[in-house]
Every structure is written in structure tokens, then in C-alpha cells.
Chains A and B, each alone.
Chain A
Amino acid sequence: MTANYFLSLSIWLPILAGVVVLVTGSPKNSGCTTRWIALVGAVLGFAVTVPLYLYFSNDTASMQFVEMAPWIPAFNINYHLGIDGISLWFVLLNSFMTLLVVIAGWVVIEKRLAQYMAAFLIMSGLINGVFAALDAILFYVFFEAMLIPMFLIIGVWGGPRRVYAAIKFFLYTLLGSLLMLAAFIYLYFEAGGSFEIIKFQILPLPLGVQVLIFLAFFMSFAVKVPMWPLHTWLPDAHVEAPTGGSVILAAITLKIGAYGFLRFNLPITPDASHALSGFIIALSLIAVVYIGLVALVQNDMKKLVAYSSIAHMGFVTLGFFMFNPMGVEGGLLQMISHGFISGAMFLCIGVLYDRMHSRQISDYGGVVNTMPTFAAFFMLFAMANAGLPGTSGFIGEFIVILSAIQVNFWYAALAATTLIFGAAYTLWMYKRVVFGAVANPHVAELKDINKRETLFLALLAILVLAMGLYPKPFTDTMHATVQQLIEQTSVPKY
């Protein structure tokens, strides 16, 4: 592979587009130019990530599309980018979801449109940076810088309790990431003055130190995932965020936490990961079972999907800490699939919210009578969320359960309850919202989805089905990297 700059482009093109949107988006123009510039930026941003998949080599576990330039020589910090089988899909997923968010916010956002579009585009670039960074400080810079646009998105365009939710989101995440920063600085000296993540991964460390570093990383990523009991920011942030914010939050930012476990916890502190795996598995199972039950009693649709996200992410961390290739791949598949499904669920709720300005389940009923096309799409995504075979939701959960049963029957048994709870809370919500007689005059006046809405729902429906029926393209890219990761974690480092 010759030198190329696809990764840099995937980071800086959206950011540049965001800046252009900000500069041109004066209050005087109607917003039409703003929308089109944002759309062009998002399309280009996605277009430059496609070659990443096309030219990706499945045979190697080493980093691909590597770019390396000195950034701050005083601390030996480099602008070092690269992706492997773990990160590839998240760059693509992120750029794709940003495109959908731009389309979804097309006419819905009336307040400060330019700033809204710019925030999403800039955030998209920063998130790509998180997934592509191979230098710890570069990672940290993207990781933290991403918080500010997200903070503003929740706080400016969110619902009534938006400020509370935004500050909670920010402080929770900052708490974790500051501890991670301390761990990075420690590793910097241990690695002989280098912030290279790859060097961190081969560093021999005594178990006691590994445990501390593991916990520092854990604080940072567990908040992001989020794992029980650090999850309380998520329902607040989701409920109050605008639709686009919820989509990016659920589809992408949660994945950053899980990605962090794979990139930092497992390879850098393998022995601590083994030693503390019982702890993580317990938390994951609590997330699956307990949060599943919590989701059952929600009255607010968005809150319900938010809790279901936590339960689904519990599967991801469970798979990772089984320490077998199947578990890790299952977790990764679950992450990608959850990106599509949760994004789709939030977009569906957004479609309803734009018409009714309510997220309460009790305000709806009989939507199928007035919005049949929408009801069909919503049905598909609800089924996928419940893990119906043939949809992408099934694959990841199934593989994780399979890998868990190899380790311990009871892990698998508890995890499998999600198939019941997931179906219960999703389908019960679906039933109350969509089926039955038309509940009130507002529902009777609903108009079915327009072309724009059909477009993004159809795109997601195709992906959910395609991944569910033929996941091979996804797993093929992962094998080599996951294999190497498992080998790395199985060898004691001290």
C-alpha cells in the first residue's frame, strides 16, 4: 500500500466543512446554502472513507493506511494515524451516520442551523480521529475535543432539562478521561519517552501497576460505554438531546468506550484484565439483566431506547472479557449492528417527535392507521433491536452467547435473558405506540413519512438486513486483528 491520506481526509474534510458552514452561515441567508454545504461536506466525508474498506487488506493484523509525522517533538508526540480490523468499521459507521444526521436535521432544526450542522460535522471529524489515532496524546486530544461539540449539541438544541444533562454528560466523561491522561503520562515514562500506543502494548508491567492503569482506563471507558453503575448520564443526555445528537451519541460515542477497552485495556494490561474479568463480567451481566428490566418500565420512548442501549453494550463488554476470538468478534459485530439499530430507533422516534412533540408512549396509539409506511420500518428496527434472526441484532448477541457458554454456562444463561427482556420492552413499546385504535385526534392528523425520511430509514433498513443475512464482509476484516489481540492478551506481561 503506497502512502495515502484517506485517514487524514476523513478527519479534516468534515472539520473543514464544519468551519465553512460556520463562516458562511450568517443569520441573513435562509439556511439553504448552509444545508447544501453541510450535505456536500458529509457526503465527501463519507466518500473518502469508502477507499478505506476497498483497499483494506484482510490478511494482516498490523496497522494500515498509516500516516506518521512528528507533531510535538518535545514530548515525542506524533501525528500517527492508522486503522486495523477493529477500528475500520467505526470510521465508516461514523461518517455514514453523520450523513444521515445531516439529512435528518434538514428542515427540523430551526434554531441556529449553521451552528448545528457545523457541530455535527466537526464532531464527525474528531470521532474519526479517535478511532484512527495511534498516539496516546493524539487520541486524548480527539477524545476530549469531541466533548465540546457534544456538550453544545445537547445543551443548545436539547429538551427542557438539557443543561443539567449536558453538564452531567461532560463532567462524567471528563472524570474518566483525566484519570486516563494520568495513566498515559505514567506509561510515557515507562515506555522510555514515547506515547505510541503500540509501544504501550508491548510494555512489561508488574501486576499491581497494571491493575491501577486498568482502573484508570476503566473509569474513562466505562463511563463512555456506559457500564452500570456509571450509566446514569446516558438516559438524561439522550432524552434531552435533539434527534441527531441521540443518534450520534448512541451509534458512535458509546462505541468509543468499547473500542477503548479493545485498544487499551486488553492489550496494555492483559494480566489485570484477566484478574479483573470477573468484575467486568458481573457489571456487564447486571447491565444486561437489570437495565433490561429498567427499560421495561419506561414511559418515555427515548429513555427506553437509551436503557436498551446500555443493555446491548453490556453484551459487548461481556464478549470482550471472554478472551476468545469469538467473544471479541461477537462484541464488535454487536457494536456495529447496535450503531445501525439504535441510530434507526432514535431516528424513528425523531420522526414521531417532529410531528407530535411528545415522546411519551401514552400520547400515542394506533399510529399504523395514519403512518403505515413508517410503521413498517419501525417494525423492522424494533425486531432488530429485540434480536430477531435475519437482522443484524441477532448475529452479535448470538455469537457472544456462544462464546460465553464455552467459558461458563451461567454467564450464557444470564446473557440469554436479553432475548426475552429485549423482546418484551421493545415490542411492548411498539405495540402501545403503533397498534390499536387511533388514540387521540393528534394521532389521527399524522402524516406518513416523506421522501427525505424514507431515504434515511430505507438506507438503514437495507444495512440492518444485509448485515443480518450476510455478516461475512464484516467478520472477514476482523479475523487477523482479533486473533493477534487474543494472542497478546493470553501471554503474561510480567
Chain B
Amino acid sequence: MTFATPNLVPVYPEIFLLMALSAVLMLDLFVSEAKRFLTYACSQLALVVTAALLVVGATGHILTTFGGMFIDDPMARTLKLVAIVAVSFVMAYSRAYNQPRGLFRGEFYVLVMSALLGIMVMISANHFLVLYLGLELLSLSMCALIALQRDSASASEAAMKYFVLAALASGLLLYGLSMLYGATGTLEMPLVANAIVSGAADPAILVFGLVFVVAGLAFKLGVVPFHMWVPDVYEGAPTAVTLFVSTAPKVAAFAFFMRLLVSTLGSMVSDWQSMLVIVAMLSMLVGNVTAIAQTNIKRMLAYSSTISHMGFLLLGILSGSLGGYAAAMFYVVAYVLMSLGAFGLILILSREGFEADQLDDLKGLNKRSPWYAFMMLLMMISMAGIPVSVGFFAKLAVLSTVLDAGMTWLVVYAVMMSLIGAFYYLRVIKLMYMDEPADNSPLIAETDHRVLVGLNGLAILVFGIVPQPLIDLCMVSISQSMR
């Protein structure tokens, strides 16, 4: 019996992250409450090193290892980098928020990092088992994160909801994958793709499996009709965790769609395209209309930013062209930037014993701090897709690929939905600029937090003026990775 050592080079970042999070877990045992900052610093350091390994190791080629179970391509590198940056921002934004709430603990950082590891594994999965492994690592870490504030009834409820529904979705996905396995006789994605193209597989079973796969994916992305968990989890979880849930996992979900639908089931595009059209249309409708009725800003962002924006993201994927995938990737990066900024600002507004999670808490923000109000303004116009912001070009890119695919009516529908969306983003701007503040307590924010929010907001503005580098990055990543 021979045992060949697999090529570990493409997996270095994941290996390092795993070791680092284990080390942080150990380290945290020996750190006293007063020196908890050390845990935080080590976690950030681990992220920086992981990111550096990713960048240094980038080859621009498609590599597979572990017998073809793990794939490393430019798209994976870019998406992982985006996820790492997002997680790093999450940690920095939530530091001041976590301290008075008993969340400034090693568990938070270890769980966030293990969720990140799950995301990275998902992004690089080339085999159904690996995909599922990454997915469960992410889901379970997220579930624990949501429940981390264990005295909070709403957090526990949110965690329970998430757990039950995630289990259901995993069940659906596994059932779909088992159908695909039954039809093709393999779990390796390229082999599944070949079997479908060759026509050896029974189309009836394939389509049957596809329905379940799409349902499972839709749940992970949080799109209608599998969106029920999103608002409850966003509202119930501590805002620091909401910030995480709303950003990095979406990157993984995008990769999930690319690997499963595009790379593996690409030849069945006409089947999944029509499913995604319905899901995307419903998401934009339900997300935008329901958001109008919300008074809790976290719920509002759950409907508007997550549900409706993910619907928009699907438009890029369903157009079924390389340009469309690149546009969707651009959209997900833009979305992560906006979502980070919006929740990051909500964290600033919160202080000890006070959660700024009502829309009314934003009243008169311009009087309390013109700078933060301007940053929030940028996030809101970007989410509404109004220039000059990166959100506009993300929408433009997606819409142009949909039109290129010949679905003019869908473009008109999408712009009408954006109009509905503009209403409640405007309402936030109105609250900040045109109303009197409800409380005049000064906003205290740590320097690093302030600088990061500024960077975040300016990134939205700068990429709104010069989007070319970001578009190029997505174009190159997609075109080098998709065969």
C-alpha cells in the first residue's frame, strides 16, 4: 500500500489558520481578563499572516490537491482574501462593543476564525464531501456565535431557529447531492460535470436533485422563499455577530453557487436559470417591500441589504455568462463593503447598556457627528445603487449582463425594485439629517474604529469613482478560473 503525501502548498493558508486558531484557543486559557487584548491582537495577527500566505502563494493557475478534492484557483484566492478582510474588520469593529457585553472572550475570536476556515474550505471545495465539510464548519460556528450571549433570550431563540433551519437546509442539500451521486456515480465535481455532459446520467434524476440543491443554496444565501431565518437571526444576535453573519458567509455562498451550479451543473444552465429567476424576483420583491415596514434597523438591513441584494446577486449568476459571474462577484465584494460599513456604524452608536438597533436611534446623527452621518449616507446611497458609490457600478454591471442575456423585462423589474428600495434608504438619510436627535450623548469611538469606518466609507466612494481596479480583479479571477 502506497501513501503519497498530497501537495500541501495550495492549502498553506488553511493549515496556518487552523493552527493559529488552535493556538489562540490555548493561549486564551492562560490570559487574564485584563489582558484579553492579547487574544484579540493574536487573532488579528493570524488573519494578517493568512492573508499574506494567500497573496504570496497566488499562482494565477488552477491547482488541485488531495486527489482533486481541493481546488485552488484565482477566484478562490480573491474570495478568500475578501472574506479575511471582512473578518478582520468584524473583529476590529466589534472590539469596543464586545467589552461591556461579556463577549470580549477568546471564544468569540476562535469561533469567528473557525467559521472563516469553513468559508475558505467551501470556497476551495472540488468535491461534494469537502463542500459539505466546509459548510457545516461554518454553520455550527455561526450557530455558537449567535448563542454566545447565553443570558439573552432573543439570542438563544435566534440560535435555535438558525440551527433547526440550517439542519433542514443541509438535509435538502444532501438529498440533492445524493441524487446527483446516484445519477452520475461520483462525488467529484469535475467528474459529475463530465458525466452530465456525456449524457450518461438520467436527466430526470438530475433535475430532481438540482431542485433540492438550489433550495439548499437558496437557504444559505438567505433568499426568498428560504429567507425566514435571516431577519430573526439578524435581530436576535448581538450586533457584532450580525455584522459577521451579514458579510463573510455571503462570500462563501457566492463561491458555493459558482462551484456547484456553474462548474458542476453548468450544462444544466437552462434548468437552474429559470429557478433562479423566480427566486431572485421574489427576493427583490419581498426584501424591498417588507423592509419598508421595519422599525428595527437590523431587521431592515436584513430584508433590504441581505435578502434583496442577494436577489440582485443571483441576477448576475443566472445570466449564465463569464461577464455575469464577474459582475456577481463584483456585486458580492461591493455588498460586503457596504454591509460592513452599515453595521460597523450601528456598533459605534451602541454603548454600554444601550443597543442602537432602532431606526429612531439614528435621528439627528448629523448634529451629533457630521462625519459618521456622512459615512452612513455613503453606505445608504451605495446600497440604493445611486452614484457616486460602488453600489451603483455593481448594479450597472449586473444589469448589463442580464440585458446581454436577453432578459430586458427582468432589468426593468429590477430597476423598479431598486426604486422601492431607495425609499427606505432615503428614510435613513432623512432621520440622520432632517430630524432632531433623540439623545445628545456624545459618540465615543476608539481611534482604530474611527479610522476603519472612514476607510470603509472612503472605499465605497473611491470605488464609486474609480471602479476599474475592482472590476478588473473580478474579471481576471473569473476568466482564469472558469473553464
Binding site for B on A (CB under 8 A): 71-75, 112, 115, 137, 140-141, 144-145, 147-148, 151-152, 155-156, 162-163, 166-167, 170-171, 174-175, 178-179, 181-182, 185-186, 188-189
B400 near A185 with CB under 8 A, answer: yes
Question: Interface on chain A toward B: helix, strand, loop, or mixed SS?
Answer: helix
B397 near A75 with CB under 8 A, answer: yes
Q: Which residues in window 395-454 of B have CB below 8 A to A?
A: 396-397, 399-400, 403-404, 408, 411-412, 415-416, 418-419, 422-423, 426-427, 429-430, 433-434
User: Is B381 on the interface with A (CB-CB < 8 A)?
Assistant: yes
Q: How large is the interface on B (under 10, 10 to 19, 20 to 34, 35 or more residues)?
A: 35 or more
Q: Most chain-A CB neighbours within 10 Å: which of B381, B404, B430?
A: B430
A75 near B475 with CB under 8 A, answer: no
Binding site for A on B (CB under 8 A): 366, 370, 377, 381, 386-388, 392-393, 396-397, 399-400, 403-404, 408, 411-412, 415-416, 418-419, 422-423, 426-427, 429-430, 433-434, 467-468, 471-472, 475
B422 near A163 with CB under 8 A, answer: no
**Known pairs A141-B388, A145-B387, A147-B386; A185 contacts B411 (CB<8 A):** yes
Q: How far is the CA of A155 from the CA of B431 in the complex (A)?
A: 10
Smallest Cβ distance from A12 to chain B, in angstroms? 12
Smallest Cβ distance from B415 to chain A, in angstroms? 4
- In the complex, 29 of the A-B residue pairs with CB atoms within 8 angstroms, ordered by the A residue number, are A74-B468, A75-B397, A75-B400, A112-B366, A115-B366, A141-B388, A141-B392, A144-B387, A145-B386, A147-B386, A148-B381, A155-B434, A156-B434, A162-B434, A163-B434, A167-B423, A171-B422, A174-B386, A178-B415, A178-B416, A179-B412, A181-B396, A181-B399, A182-B399, A182-B403, A182-B411, A182-B415, A185-B400, A189-B403
Smallest Cβ distance from B235 to chain A, in angstroms? 26
Q: How far is the CA of A147 from the CA of B385 in the complex (A)?
A: 13
Option from A73, A145, A179, A182 in Cβ contact (under 8 Å) with B388: A145
> In the assembled complex, which residues on chain B have CB atoms less than 8 Å from the CB atom of A147?
386
A144 near B386 with CB under 8 A, answer: yes
> In the assembled complex, which residues on chain B have CB atoms less than 8 Å from the CB atom of A188?
400
A182 near B387 with CB under 8 A, answer: no
A175 near B387 with CB under 8 A, answer: no
A185 near B423 with CB under 8 A, answer: no
A174 near B422 with CB under 8 A, answer: yes
Q: How far is the CA of A181 from the CA of B396 in the complex (A)?
A: 9
**Chain A: CB-nearest residue to B427:** A167
**Known pairs A72-B467, A174-B422; A155 contacts B430 (CB<8 A):** yes
Smallest Cβ distance from A209 to chain B, in angstroms? 10
B393 near A72 with CB under 8 A, answer: yes
> In the assembled complex, which residues on chain A have CB atoms less than 8 Å from the CB atom of B433?
152, 155-156
> In the assembled complex, which residues on chain B have CB atoms less than 8 Å from the CB atom of A74?
468, 471-472, 475
Given A73-B468, A141-B388, A178-B415, 20 additional A-B pairs, CB 8 A: A71-B468, A72-B393, A72-B467, A72-B468, A140-B387, A144-B392, A147-B386, A148-B377, A152-B429, A155-B434, A167-B430, A171-B419, A171-B426, A179-B415, A182-B415, A185-B400, A185-B403, A186-B408, A188-B400, A189-B400
Option from A72, A151, A175 in Cβ contact (under 8 Å) with B419: A175
Smallest Cβ distance from A132 to chain B, in angstroms? 16
> In the assembled complex, which residues on chain B have CB atoms less than 8 Å from the CB atom of A151?
426, 429
A166 near B400 with CB under 8 A, answer: no
B396 near A75 with CB under 8 A, answer: yes
A181 near B415 with CB under 8 A, answer: yes
**Known pairs A182-B411, A182-B412; A166 contacts B434 (CB<8 A):** yes
Q: Most chain-B CB neighbours within 10 Å: which of A74, A75, A112, A166?
A: A74
> In the assembled complex, which residues on chain A have CB atoms less than 8 Å from the CB atom of B427?
167
> In the assembled complex, which residues on chain A have CB atoms less than 8 Å from the CB atom of B404?
189
B426 near A186 with CB under 8 A, answer: no
Smallest Cβ distance from B371 to chain A, in angstroms? 10
> In the assembled complex, which residues on chain A have CB atoms less than 8 Å from the CB atom of B400?
75, 185, 188-189
> In the assembled complex, which residues on chain B have CB atoms less than 8 Å from the CB atom of A148?
377, 381, 386
> In the assembled complex, which residues on chain A have CB atoms less than 8 Å from the CB atom of B472?
74
